[in-house]
Amino acid sequence: MLKEKMMTAACAAAALTMGLAASTALAETPSWCGPNEASLALLDGFGGNSWRLVTTASGAEEAAKCPSITQYEYADGQGDTQKAISDINSMAARGINAMVVFGDAGPAVLPALTNAHRAGTIVVPYRVNVGGEEGVNYAKFIGSSFFEDGVSWGNWIKEILPEGGNLLFLSGPAGNSQGIDELAGMKSVLDDKYVFINPEPFAVTNWDPSLTQQVLSAEIAKNDKIDVIVSDFGPSLVGALPVFAEFGRSIPALATSDGNSLSCFWEQNKEANPDFKLFTVATGNDNVRLAVQWAVALATGGTPPAEEIFKAPVFENSVTGEPNPVTCRPDLPGSIYLSAEMADDAQAKAVGQ
C-alpha cells in the first residue's frame, strides 16, 4: 500500500540518490553525512499545494547529497490524521532508520512518533509543534522561528513608518500558533504608535484566497487608513489586493512571505500604486533541509548542524533592495518560491508546470 503512496518526487529522488551517490561520492560529502548506511523517509501530513511540493522536492534534494542514504521514501497523509498516523506506523514497521515528519495534525501524531522512537527509529518532527520532549518522544524537533519573522516585519515597518500608523495583520485559521508567534514578534519591536486595526490577534483568512478577498474588502471599506498590511502567506493576497482599486486607493505597503506570483504582481502594479512597498521573508521551504540534515546526521553518525531552529532569512525589500530587490520571473510558474534554495526550474518541475 505504501508503494502507492510513493510519489514521483520520491522515485526521482531515489534515482537521484543512486546517480549522485555514484558521481559525487568522491567529490564532497557534507559533514552531517556520516559513514553508516541508512534509509530515510519523509512523511508529510498534507502534500497537496505548491508550497508542499517544493518542500518535498527540497527534502529529497537534500537527502540525495548524502551517499550513505541508500533508500528514500515519501508518504503523503493527504490531510487525514488517521492516514498520517498509519504512514508513521508502517514506515517504522518496515524498518526505516530515520524519518522526518511534518506533523500537521500536531500532538495527535505524537503517540505514533513515540512508538517509532522507542522502536529505535530516528524521528525528527519539524515546523509544526507536536508536543512531547526531545529524547523521550522523538530524537529532535526542528522548529521554525515565526517569532523571528514577526521581528523582521516589525523592524521594516519601523523603517518605512517611523511615526507609527495603522497595521492590518492577516493570518490563517483561527488561533493558529504561527500567527500568534508572528504577532508576538512584531509586538516585541513595535510600540503603541502602531495600531493593529484587525480583530485580536489577527484577521482569520484560513490562507484561502477567496476568503482573504472577502476579509480584505471588508477591512478596506471599514478603515480609511491602512498603512501596512502584514500577511504570513503573501501569494494568497494577489487576488485580493486589486480590491483597493475599487475604493480608488493605492495598495499600501505589504510585509509578508515571498512567492513568484506576488513579486510579479508587485512589478505590474507598482506604477499605479505609489504606496505599494513590498518586504518579504523567505517562505521557509528550506526548513525541511535542516530537518533532513539532522535526521541523516543522527542516523549515519555524521556531525549534526549547529542550528536547531530554522530562521527564515529576509528575502526581498523593494525600498532598499537589500538583501534582494523584488524579483519577478514571468517565465516561471507563479506558484514557485524564489527564496527556496532549490533551483527555479527544478521547482517548476516539482509543481508540475
Partner 1 sequence: MAQYHQAAGQDAPGLDLRSLKPARGFVTVVISTLALIVVCAVFAPSAISAGGLAGSLPFAAIIAIVGLGQMLVVQQGGFDLSLAGGVSLAVVITTHMSGGDDAQLFTSIAFAFGCAVVAGVVNGLLVGVLRLNAIVATIGMNALLYGAVFAVSGGVPRITTPLMAEIAGGKTLGIPHSVLFALGIMLLVAFVLKKTVIGRRFEAIGANPAAAHAAGLKVQLYQAMAYVFAQLHYCVAGILISGITREPTAFQGDSLLLPSVAVVVLAGTSLLGGRGFPISTVIAAFFLNQLSQFALAVGVPFSAQTIIQALALVFGIGVYSLRWKQAATKRALKSKMEETDNA
Least distance between partner 1 and beta carbon 53 (Å)? 6
The residue among 36 and 177 lying less far from partner 1, judged by its C-beta, is: 177
The residue among 215 and 298 lying less far from partner 1, judged by its C-beta, is: 215
Q: Among residues 97, 317, 335, 347, which is the contact residue for partner 1, using CB under 8 A? A: 335
Give the distance, in angstroms, between the CA of residue 84 and the centroid of all CA atoms in the same chain. 19
Secondary structure (H, E, C), 71-109: EEEEEECCCCHHHHHHHHHHHHHCCCCEEEEECCCHHHH
CB 127 within 8 A of CB 287: yes
- Alpha carbons 99 and 142: distance in angstroms, whole number: 13
Which part of the chain contacts partner 1 (CB under 8 A), choosing from 24-32, 122-130, 181-189, 236-244? 236-244
Query: Which positions from 275 to 314 touch partner 1 by CB under 8 A, shown as an x/- string?
Result: ----------------------------------------
Q: Among residues 25, 174, 195, 272, which is the contact residue for partner 1, using CB under 8 A? A: 174
Considering only CA atoms, which of 49, 135, 67 is closest in space to residue 302? Answer: 67
The residue among 12 and 66 lying less far from partner 1, judged by its C-beta, is: 12
- Alpha carbons 250 and 229: distance in angstroms, whole number: 12
Q: How many residues bind partner 1 (CB under 8 A)?
A: 39
Q: Which residues pair with 176 in a beta bridge?
A: none
Task: Kindly state whether residue 177 participates in binding partner 1, applying the rule CB under 8 A.
Answer: no
Burial 277-315 (b: 16+ CB within 10 A, else e): bbbbbbbbbbbbbbbbbbbbbbbbebebbeeeebbbebb
Least distance between partner 1 and beta carbon 4 (Å)? 13
Helix (H, G, I), strand (E, B) or coil at 50: helix
Which part of the chain contacts partner 1 (CB under 8 A), choosing from 31-39, 138-146, 179-187, 214-222? 214-222
Query: Which positions from 191 to 210 touch partner 1 by CB under 8 A, shown as an x/- string?
Result: -------xxx---x---xxx
Least distance between partner 1 and beta carbon 43 (Å)? 17
Which string of DSSP letters, residue by residue, matches 160-177?
H-TT-EEEEEEESSTT-H
Nine cell digits for residue 267: 512589478
Task: Kindly state whether residue 258 participates in binding partner 1, applying the rule CB under 8 A.
Answer: no
Query: Which positions from 41 to 70 touch partner 1 by CB under 8 A, shown as an x/- string?
Result: ------xxxx--x-----------------
Least distance between partner 1 and beta carbon 239 (Å)? 4
Helix (H, G, I), strand (E, B) or coil at 14: helix
Least distance between partner 1 and beta carbon 351 (Å)? 5
Residue in the structure block whose three cell numbers are 518522544: 137
**Which residues here bind partner 1, judged by CB under 8 A?**
47-50, 53, 174, 198-200, 204, 208-211, 213-222, 235-236, 238-239, 242-243, 246-247, 261, 333-335, 351-353
